[in-house]
Chain A
Amino acid sequence: MNIIVLVKSVPDPAAKVGVRDNKIVEDGLAWEANPYDENAVEEAIRLKEKYGGKVTLITLGPKRAEETLKKMLALGADEGILVSDPAFEGSDELATARILAAAIEKAGGYDVIWAGWTGVDWNQGIVAQAVAEYLGVPHVSFVTKFEVNGQTARCETEVEGGREIIEVDLPAVLTAMQTLNEVRYASLKNIMAVKRKTIPTWGAADLGINPAEVGKGAAHHHLMKLIPPPERAAGRVLKGAPEETVQELVRALREEVKVL
């Protein structure tokens, strides 16, 4: 089974990201794999362990994204490809998806393509489904359980009011939720092996992409302002014995919040 995983390098999701001059403050910021992409990599490796085959990770990003790719490779993936070109900088999600779709075609055959359900950076959740549209394959979003049955797969997905079971013809694009699996730790052996791996870099020319159709100039939306979130007005800690604080709270719920 040929499995492709789309991995995005994002600011450390546990860090407090600062904002200055309409940009995030990058000094001292660590870059990690998008957390849901880790679930996607984990699921891909489990599929390979069960059915055999190959796991290929693809990242579109600047040179530094190679580190993220290596960390994910060390979980037990076979190949990593860095898709990088100055012409790609500032691409919107649809252009990113076009470039990734071209890279997936170049990487050879695929049965399953995994991605994360959204990037915790810009919280768009667009690229994976757009890749599916451009490749002309079905997709299933928000997968929490996955099982292959021959030429189709059974996906449990998270929707409002319950769980929907979706049957999908392969090949297909799938997006991972946090509850899909528990991500393993990289083994020392794998970490050492990754050090010797060469990671090919593919640019616009390798992928037959016209630089004019991607990058900042071709983006369908542009950022006008990036500001820190408004602080909530300082709250009030109610003082007194428990009975008093509760009475005061109930008074506020009645008179100020007006829910009683």
Chain B
Amino acid sequence: MANSILVIAEYRGDNVKRITFEMLQAGRQLATALGGSVVAAALGSGGLAGLAGPLGQAGAEEVILAESPDLADYAVESYTDALQQVIDAANPSVVILAASPRGRDLSPRIAARLGVALASDVTAIEASGSQIVVTRPVFSGNAIASVALETTPTIVTLRAGSYPPAQAEAGRAAKVTRLPINIEYAPGARAVEFKEVKSERPDVTEASIVVAGGRGMGAPEHFDKIEELADLLGAAVGASRAVVDAGWRPYGEQVGQTGKTISPKLYIACGISGAIQHLVGMKTSKYIVAINKDPEAPIFKVADYGIVGDVFTVLPLLTAEVKKAKTQG
């Protein structure tokens, strides 16, 4: 389809992940500008039919279910082959993947194979005439680049939180195309085990609220105060590198240059100084709250609401007030 925008869905089981709806939103805006349509594709070993409904309701005009028993476990070479076959079938002008570990693992391999432009971790995708122009934070957030992509197709990976998720409309449905995938060789890199890090809480990249703690929390056991507030708000727990390096919190929670880059609706930083490498990971949050006892802490420069004070005084008060607000509805 000429000018089609191909969105590679991320899902877990029967659930379409939030980032997929954000990609669909970006795709729909682009399709409107280019006069094209949005095609979503899900890759996997089978049982993908349940994804077509939500993808269609969120605005995908066609859903390609790319299935093969060889896609049961993730293997980047098999998935590259599968993606190549999907791209051949959809003939898109732009391919959008998530800037997730998977997306960033797979996208360079397919771009190299096809010899096409790839922009990683973009925060906006626009059309300028028929040209695709993306926005990317670079140099650790010290600069923002606008980059023109000059091949067809072009590939981008989209940073979580850059677009609002496309809303479902009950009346909409996509045309469903089944694409049997043929993988011709055994992959050299094979996933053999998945160690789930069990958490009752959402991941920092998925949550719309993140409550994060830094060295100012004083000790690992004091993170129970962070967790309590997070649970009250349905939020994820985030951490600065200082506390991850100290072994207080798992690496998966680290926000910043060497951790996750996120744009939640609300980021609450507790006892975090706001070093540039931390800010690059959360500066694009819609609202930022900072609690820090040092009025000169750089985090206050980016905070919409700052409280200068001791976390051990402020956090319990805040948790109590939030509780009160919640019960009053």
A236 to B303, CA, bound (A): 7
A97 to B147, CA, bound (A): 20
Q: Which of B224-265 contact A (CB under 8 A)?
A: 233, 251-252, 257-258, 265
Please indicate the chain A residues that have their CB under 8 angstroms from the CB of B308 in the complex.
237
Report yes or no: A221 in contact with B258, Cβ–Cβ below 8 A.
no
- Give the shortest distance, in Å, between B259 (CB) and chain A (any CB): 9
Report yes or no: B111 in contact with A130, Cβ–Cβ below 8 A.
yes
Report yes or no: A246 in contact with B112, Cβ–Cβ below 8 A.
no
Q: Does A3 contact B (CB under 8 A)?
A: no
Question: Number of contacts between A and B (CB, 8 Å)?
Answer: 259
**Which of A122, A138, A243 is within 8 Å of B189, CB to CB?**
A138
Judged by DSSP, the binding face of A is mixed
Report yes or no: A221 in contact with B189, Cβ–Cβ below 8 A.
no
Report yes or no: B205 in contact with A250, Cβ–Cβ below 8 A.
no
Report yes or no: A232 in contact with B145, Cβ–Cβ below 8 A.
no
Q: Does B115 contact A (CB under 8 A)?
A: yes
Q: Does A82 contact B (CB under 8 A)?
A: no
A40 to B173, CA, bound (A): 48
Q: Does B89 contact A (CB under 8 A)?
A: no
Q: Does B129 contact A (CB under 8 A)?
A: no
Q: Does A254 contact B (CB under 8 A)?
A: yes
Chain B 200-216 interface 0/1 with A at a Cβ cutoff of 8 Å (1 = within): 00010100110000000
Q: Which of A162-216 contact B (CB under 8 A)?
A: 162-169, 172, 177-179
Report yes or no: B317 in contact with A246, Cβ–Cβ below 8 A.
yes
Report yes or no: B112 in contact with A97, Cβ–Cβ below 8 A.
yes
Report yes or no: A225 in contact with B145, Cβ–Cβ below 8 A.
yes
Given A165-B195, A249-B307, A242:B188 Cβ within 8 A = no
Please indicate the chain A residues that have their CB under 8 angstroms from the CB of B119 in the complex.
124, 221
Chain A 150-163 interface 0/1 with B at a Cβ cutoff of 8 Å (1 = within): 00001001111111
Please indicate the chain B residues that have their CB under 8 angstroms from the CB of A245 in the complex.
307, 309, 314
Please indicate the chain A residues that have their CB under 8 angstroms from the CB of B130 in the complex.
none
A13 to B276, CA, bound (A): 10
Report yes or no: A253 in contact with B266, Cβ–Cβ below 8 A.
yes
Report yes or no: A158 in contact with B189, Cβ–Cβ below 8 A.
no
Report yes or no: A138 in contact with B258, Cβ–Cβ below 8 A.
no
**Which of B74, B146, B233 is within 8 Å of A223, CB to CB?**
B146
Chain B 51-95 interface 0/1 with A at a Cβ cutoff of 8 Å (1 = within): 000000000000000000000001011001000000000000000
- Give the shortest distance, in Å, between B8 (CB) and chain A (any CB): 15
A50 to B107, CA, bound (A): 33
Residue of B whose beta carbon sits closest to that of A126: B108
Report yes or no: A157 in contact with B101, Cβ–Cβ below 8 A.
yes
Q: Does A93 contact B (CB under 8 A)?
A: yes
Report yes or no: B138 in contact with A121, Cβ–Cβ below 8 A.
yes
Q: Which of A23-49 contact B (CB under 8 A)?
A: 24, 35-36
- Give the shortest distance, in Å, between B298 (CB) and chain A (any CB): 11
| Chain A interface category by residue count | 35 or more
**Which of A13, A133, A162 is within 8 Å of B113, CB to CB?**
A133
Report yes or no: B258 in contact with A35, Cβ–Cβ below 8 A.
yes
User: Which residue of B140, B302, B303 has the most chain A CB atoms within 10 A of its CB atom?
Assistant: B140
Tally B residues with Cβ within 8 Å of A.
Answer: 90
Report yes or no: B140 in contact with A226, Cβ–Cβ below 8 A.
no
Residue of A whose beta carbon sits closest to that of B329: A260
- Give the shortest distance, in Å, between B62 (CB) and chain A (any CB): 26
Q: Does B318 contact A (CB under 8 A)?
A: yes
Report yes or no: A242 in contact with B109, Cβ–Cβ below 8 A.
no
Please indicate the chain A residues that have their CB under 8 angstroms from the CB of B22 in the complex.
none
Chain A 218-229 interface 0/1 with B at a Cβ cutoff of 8 Å (1 = within): 011111111111
Report yes or no: A257 in contact with B148, Cβ–Cβ below 8 A.
no
Residue of B whose beta carbon sits closest to that of A249: B305
Report yes or no: B325 in contact with A254, Cβ–Cβ below 8 A.
yes
Given A19-B143, A235-B306, A169:B105 Cβ within 8 A = no
Please indicate the chain A residues that have their CB under 8 angstroms from the CB of B142 in the complex.
16-19, 24, 228-229
Given A167-B189, A237-B307, A222:B301 Cβ within 8 A = no
List the interface of chain A (C-beta within 8 A of B).
11, 13-14, 16-19, 24, 35-36, 92-94, 97, 118, 120-130, 132-134, 137-142, 144, 154, 157-169, 172, 177-179, 219-230, 232-238, 242-243, 245-247, 249-250, 252-254, 256-257, 259-260
22 A-B pairs within 8 Å (CB atoms) are namely A14-B277, A16-B276, A24-B142, A93-B108, A118-B120, A122-B136, A123-B136, A125-B108, A133-B80, A164-B195, A179-B251, A225-B145, A226-B146, A227-B144, A229-B142, A235-B301, A242-B307, A242-B314, A245-B314, A253-B325, A257-B286, A259-B265
A122-B138, A122-B145, A237-B306 known; 20 new pairs, CB 8 Å cut-off, are A18-B142, A94-B112, A123-B137, A126-B107, A127-B108, A129-B108, A141-B104, A165-B191, A165-B193, A166-B190, A172-B188, A224-B146, A228-B143, A230-B144, A235-B305, A237-B300, A246-B321, A249-B318, A250-B321, A260-B325
